[in-house]
Amino acid sequence: MSSSDVILIVDNVTKRFGGLVANSRVSFQLKRGEILGLIGPNGAGKTTLFNVITGVYKPDEGKVIFKGEDITGKPPHEITRKGIAKTHQIVKPFNDMTVLENAMVGALFGKRARQVAMEEAREIAMDSLKLVGLDAFSDEFAAKLNLHQKKMLELARALSAEPDLLLLDEVLAGLNPKEIEESLEIIRKVKDERNLSVIMIEHVMHAVMNISDRIVVLHYGRKIAEGIPEEIANNPEVITAYLGEPELALKFVKRRVTK
Ligand SMILES: Nc1ncnc2c1ncn2[C@@H]1O[C@H](COP(=O)(O)OP(=O)(O)OP(=O)(O)O)[C@@H](O)[C@H]1O
Ligand SMILES: [Mg+2]
């Protein structure tokens, strides 16, 4: 793998909160154009790792290299402008702003934050809303959206920042099976159209097994496994720590639908 094929390197990252080690010497690489699933039990350190990558937290040890540049500990707005955008695990749109205005926030604070004028931000935001299927709701207040639509608005806001790397934190949580299928289609589509690399935190196992090229598993802050979905579903340590019954884990993989 040549270094230009790699968009992100997480190198030996440790993040502590007092005595609690939320991330312990975590290392992995993400290739350009790849979808990497990040899984593990509640409290495993997944969201913390996203916060380290996006500059919300400075790691106690280790480095984050993005597009060949050491971005460790840089402030979040700078990292956003370098091309990393994240959706939040808990969706919190500005309820008294319209759907379009919410998506515009992404453009105004995104990669071209300093250059982009209002009119252009509106166009960028509208394009993102179209991609996620929310363009018909652009003038509605965000408060009126249901959970699925709010999750898609989170995605549109992140896309409006025009990232190269998209971090998705449980965008499928709380959705019904049909909404999950639709969301997976949208994620595949935006990834292809925008040439994105994606890391996806997800507990909806059949979905993350289905969409991911590779999977990294965290447990008590440590990386306990990394591999293609089939390897992960068959990994005894992962089954014990997270997936439970081997038969159930294998079922996730068998349910993979190739589209
Ligand atoms: N700001 C913080 N201050 C103190 N402890 C924190 C903070 N953020 C996270 N933690 C702790 O770090 C650990 C990892 O939390 P994190 O939110 O990263 O887990 P997660 O893998 O995203 O879990 P979930 O699947 O429930 O979202 C947990 O024990 C959590 O309580
Ligand atoms: Mg989390």
Q: Is residue 228 part of a domain?
A: yes
Q: Is residue 21 part of a domain?
A: yes
Q: Is residue 121 part of a domain?
A: no
Q: Is residue 134 part of a domain?
A: no
CA-nearest residue, atom 17 of ligand 1: 47
pLDDT at residue 80, as a whole number: 95
Is the predicted pLDDT of residue 3 greater than 90, yes or no?
Answer: no
- pLDDT class of 255 with cuts at 50, 70, 90: low
Query: Is-above-0.85 flag for pTM?
Result: yes
Q: Is residue 175 part of a domain?
A: no
Q: Which ligand is nearest to the CA of 15?
A: 1
Give yes or no for residue 47 CB within 6 A of ligand 1.
Answer: yes
CA-nearest residue, atom 9 of ligand 1: 48
Residues 103-135 have pLDDT tens digits of 999 998 888 776 888 999 999 999 999 999 999
Which whole number is the average pLDDT over 204-228?
Answer: 96
Give yes or no for residue 138 CB within 6 A of ligand 1.
Answer: no
Q: Is residue 110 part of a domain?
A: no
Q: Which atom from ligand 1 is nearest to the alpha carbon of 57?
A: 1
Residues of the chain with pLDDT > 90: what percent?
82
Q: Which ligand is nearest to the CA of 41?
A: 1
- pLDDT class of 96 with cuts at 50, 70, 90: very high
Give yes or no for residue 90 CB within 6 A of ligand 1.
Answer: no
Domain range for 221 is 1-73+201-259
Closest CA to 212 of 2, 28, 51: 28
Q: Is residue 33 part of a domain?
A: yes
**Candidates 13, 14, 21, 46: which one to mutate for ligand 1, based on the most atoms within 8 Å of Cβ?**
46
pLDDT at residue 257, as a whole number: 45
Give yes or no for residue 51 CB within 6 A of ligand 1.
Answer: no
Least confident of 37-41, 107-111, 181-185, 218-222: 107-111
pLDDT at residue 254, as a whole number: 54
Q: Is residue 87 part of a domain?
A: no
CA-nearest residue, atom 27 of ligand 1: 42
Residues 149-203 have pLDDT tens digits of 999 999 999 999 999 999 999 999 999 999 999 999 999 999 999 999 999 999 9
Q: What is the CATH number of the domain that holds 22?
A: 3.40.50.300
| Number of domains forming the structure of the chain | 1
